[in-house]
C-alpha cells in the first residue's frame, strides 16, 4: 500500500467546486475523485459546460471568481493544494508541480511581449534563471515541439494559431512539472494541425515522464493518448477507469451514448447516435441522478436518490444500474 502511495503523483479526493453567482450557486464540480501515477495520462471527456475546465482550474488552485473550492483534497506530487495561500500556490505549486495549456489558444499570449519574454517568465520568476541559460532551456523545449528558434524573437501576432499552441505547450513543459493539464489544446485549430499536434503530443508523452491530463469533448481523440478515462456529466465524474475497458465496454448509460456517438469509418451516418435533450442548468440540477431526464434506462429510483459509485470490474460507475446491494 505504502509503495503505491509513493508512486501517486496526483491524488484528488471528493473535490467540490462551486461558482457563487448572483443567480445562484453553480454546482460545476461535485465530489470528484481520481488518482494518477507518474507517466500515466488521464483523459477527461464530457459535453460542454460539464465542469472539465473547472476541474483543471481547481487543480491549479486558480478557480476564477466567483468560484471557490468548497471541499475535498488535492495532492500533487505530495503537496496538499487546497490549504495553500495564493502566494504559496504561486511559488510552490503552479508550473513546478502542475502546469496547464489553457483552452482557447488564440489570445493566450500577451500581445505586447515577445514570445521569448513570455516563455522565459516561469524560469525567471520561479527558478531565478535568466539570460542565456533560460534561453537554452527554452530552445530545448522548442525543439521538442518542432518550433524554429527564430519564432522565439517574434511577437504573438506574428505567429499562426498552431505555432502559438506549440509554444504554449513547450512553455508548459519548461519546469518539468509532475502533471501537465491540456485543456482542449487543439479546439481552436483546423483538423490537419490538430492531428499533427496530437501526434507530437503522443511522442512527447512517451519521451517525458510527467503525468498528463487531457481535457476534451471529443472522445475519439482520447482513445490513443490516455491510459485512464474519466467521463463527466453535469459536474459529476460518472465513469472512471482504464481507457481500454471503457472503450470496449462502456458501463454508464451516458458513456454508452457518448461512445456510440463517435463517428467511425465503416459506419453509416444515420446509425450515428446522439443524446436527446440538453445538459441541465447547474444552479438547479435534477434531483436524484443528474442524467436521469435524458437517460433511456432510467427507473423510479433514478429521479429520487443520488447514485453511489460502484466498482464494476475495476471501473468506477456512478449509476443505480450497478447497485448490487439493494
Ligand X SMILES: Nc1ncnc2c1ncn2[C@@H]1O[C@H](COP(=O)(O)OP(=O)(O)OP(=O)(O)O)[C@@H](O)[C@H]1O
Which residues are near Mg ion by CB under 5 A?
53, 103
How far apart are the C-alpha atoms of 276 and 204, rounded to whole Å?
Answer: 38
- Selected from 79, 126, 144, 262, the binder of other proteins by CB under 8 A is 126
**Least Cβ distance, residue 28 to ligand X (angstroms):** 4
Interaction between residue 19 and other proteins (CB under 8 A): no
In the region spanning residues 34 to 93, those forming contacts with ligand X, defined by CB under 6 A, are 48-54, 64, 66-67
- Selected from 111, 263, 277, 314, the binder of other proteins by CB under 8 A is 111
Question: Can you tell me which residue has the cell 427507473?
Answer: 299
Interaction between residue 20 and other proteins (CB under 8 A): no
Cβ-closest position to ligand X: 53
Contact 289, 322 (CB under 8 A): no
How far apart are the C-alpha atoms of 272 and 300, rounded to whole Å?
Answer: 28
**Least Cβ distance, residue 215 to Mg ion (angstroms):** 7
223 contacts: CB under 8 Å, gap ≥ 6? 243, 247
Phi/psi-derived region of residue 313, left when phi > 0, alpha when psi is between -120 and 50, beta in every other case:
left
- Selected from 8, 13, 38, 102, the binder of other proteins by CB under 8 A is 102
Helices (DSSP H) in 21-130: which residue ranges?
52-59, 86-88, 115-126
**Least Cβ distance, residue 167 to ligand X (angstroms):** 22
**Least Cβ distance, residue 183 to other proteins (angstroms):** 11
In the region spanning residues 31 to 90, those forming contacts with other proteins, defined by CB under 8 A, are 60, 62, 64, 90
Interaction between residue 100 and other proteins (CB under 8 A): yes
How far apart are the C-alpha atoms of 226 and 242, rounded to whole Å?
Answer: 9
Q: Cα(first)–Cα(last) distance of the chain, in Å? A: 31
**Least Cβ distance, residue 109 to Mg ion (angstroms):** 19
Interaction between residue 17 and ligand X (CB under 6 A): no
Tell me how crowded residue 44 is: count the other CB atoms within 10 A of its CB: 28
Which of other proteins, ligand X, Mg ion, none does 171 bind, CB closer than 5 to 8 A by kind?
A: other proteins
What secondary structure does DSSP assign to 20-32, as a single string?
EETTEEEEEEEEE
User: Strand order in 228-233's β-sheet?
Assistant: 98-101, 179-183, 211-216, 41-45, 228-233, 236-242, 315-318, 309-312
Q: Which is nearer to ligand X, 49 or 77 (CB)?
A: 49
| Upper half-sphere CA count for residue 71 (Cβ side, 13 Å) | 4
Q: Which is nearer to other proteins, 122 or 241 (CB)?
A: 122
Binding site for ligand X (CB under 6 A): 19, 21, 26, 28, 48-54, 64, 66-67, 103, 217, 282
Binding site for other proteins (CB under 8 A): 60, 62, 64, 90-91, 94-96, 99-100, 102, 104, 107-113, 118, 121-122, 125-126, 155, 157, 168, 171
Amino acid at each position: 500500500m505504502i509503495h503505491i502511495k509513493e508512486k501517486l503523483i496526483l491524488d484528488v479526493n471528493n473535490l467540490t467546486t462551486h461558482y457563487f453567482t448572483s443567480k445562484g450557486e453553480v454546482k460545476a464540480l461535485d465530489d470528484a475523485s481520481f488518482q494518477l501515477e507518474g507517466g500515466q495520462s488521464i483523459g477527461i471527456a464530457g459535453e460542454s459546460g460539464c465542469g472539465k475546465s473547472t476541474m483543471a482550474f481547481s487543480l491549479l488552485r486558480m478557480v476564477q471568481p466567483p468560484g471557490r473550492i468548497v471541499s475535498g483534497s488535492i495532492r500533487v506530487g505530495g503537496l496538499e493544494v487546497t490549504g495553500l495561500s495564493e502566494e504559496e500556490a504561486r511559488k510552490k505549486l503552479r508550473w513546478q508541480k502542475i502546469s496547464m495549456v489553457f483552452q482557447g489558444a488564440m489570445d493566450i499570449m500577451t500581445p505586447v511581449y515577445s514570445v521569448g519574454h513570455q516563455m522565459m517568465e516561469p524560469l525567471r520568476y520561479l527558478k531565478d534563471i535568466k539570460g542565456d541559460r533560460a534561453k537554452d532551456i527554452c530552445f530545448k523545449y522548442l525543439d521538442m515541439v518542432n518550433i524554429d528558434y527564430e519564432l522565439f524573437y517574434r511577437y504573438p501576432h506574428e505567429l499562426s494559431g498552431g505555432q502559438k499552441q506549440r509554444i504554449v505547450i513547450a512553455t508548459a513543459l519548461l519546469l518539468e512539472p509532475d502533471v501537465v493539464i491540456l485543456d482542449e489544446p487543439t479546439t481552436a485549430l483546423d483538423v490537419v494541425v490538430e492531428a499533427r499536434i496530437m501526434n507530437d503530443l503522443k511522442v512527447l508523452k512517451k519521451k517525458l515522464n510527467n503525468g498528463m491530463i487531457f481535457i476534451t469533448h471529443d472522445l475519439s481523440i482520447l482513445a490513443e493518448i490516455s491510459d485512464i478515462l474519466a467521463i463527466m456529466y453535469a459536474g459529476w465524474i460518472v465513469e472512471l477507469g482504464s481507457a481500454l475497458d471503457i472503450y470496449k465496454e462502456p458501463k454508464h448509460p451516458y458513456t454508452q451514448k457518448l461512445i456510440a456517438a463517435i463517428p467511425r469509418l465503416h459506419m453509416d451516418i444515420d446509425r450515428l447516435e446522439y443524446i436527446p435533450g440538453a445538459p441541465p442548468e447547474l444552479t438547479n440540477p435534477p434531483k436524484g441522478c443528474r442524467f436521469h431526464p435524458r437517460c433511456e434506462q432510467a427507473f423510479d429510483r433514478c429521479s429520487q436518490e443520488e447514485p453511489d459509485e460502484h466498482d464494476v470490474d475495476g471501473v468506477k460507475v456512478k449509476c443505480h444500474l450497478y447497485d448490487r446491494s439493494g
